[in-house]
Amino acid sequence: MATLRALRKLCQQSQHQVCSLHMSASRQEAVVISGRKLARQIREEARADVEQWVSTGNRRPHLSVVLVGDHAASHSYVLNKTRAAADVGISSETILKPSCISEDELMDLIYKLNTDHRVDGLLVQLPLPEHIDERRVCNAVFPGKDVDGFHVVNVGRMCLDQSTMLPATPWGVWEIIKRTGIPTLGKNVVVAGRSKNVGMPIAMLLHSDGRHERPGGDATVTISHRYTPKDQLRQHTRIADIVVAAAGIPNLITADMIKEGAAVIDVGINRVHDPLTGKDKLVGDVDFEGVRQKASFITPVPGGVGPMTVAMLMKNTIKAAKNLLLTPPERIRMVASS
Residues involved in catalysis: 81, 125, 148
In 3-state terms, the chain is what percent helix, strand and coil (to 5)? 45, 15, 35
Cis peptide before 302 (omega within 30 of 0): yes
Cα 252 to Cα 123, 174, 269, 284, distances in angstroms: 30, 21, 12, 9
149: left (phi over 0), alpha (psi -120 to 50) or beta: left
From the CB of residue 268, how many other CB atoms can be counted at a distance below 10 Å?
A: 24
The 3-state DSSP class for residue 90 equals coil
Task: Name the residue among 117, 166, 114 with its Cα closest to residue 145.
Answer: 114
DSSP 57-72: TPPPPEEEEEEES--H
Euclidean distance between CA atoms 130 and 49, whole angstroms: 39
Q: What is the DSSP letter of 146?
A: B
Residue 132 · residue 107 · CB < 8 Å: no
Question: What one-letter code names the amino acid at 114?
Answer: N
From the CB of residue 142, how many other CB atoms can be counted at a distance below 10 Å?
A: 23
Residue 315 · residue 127 · CB < 8 Å: no
Q: Which residues pair with 62 in a beta bridge?
A: 91
Residue 250 · residue 216 · CB < 8 Å: no
Task: Name the residue among 89, 104, 99, 91 with its Cα closest to residue 125.
Answer: 99
Residue 262 · residue 296 · CB < 8 Å: yes
Q: Which residues pair with 121 in a beta bridge?
A: 63
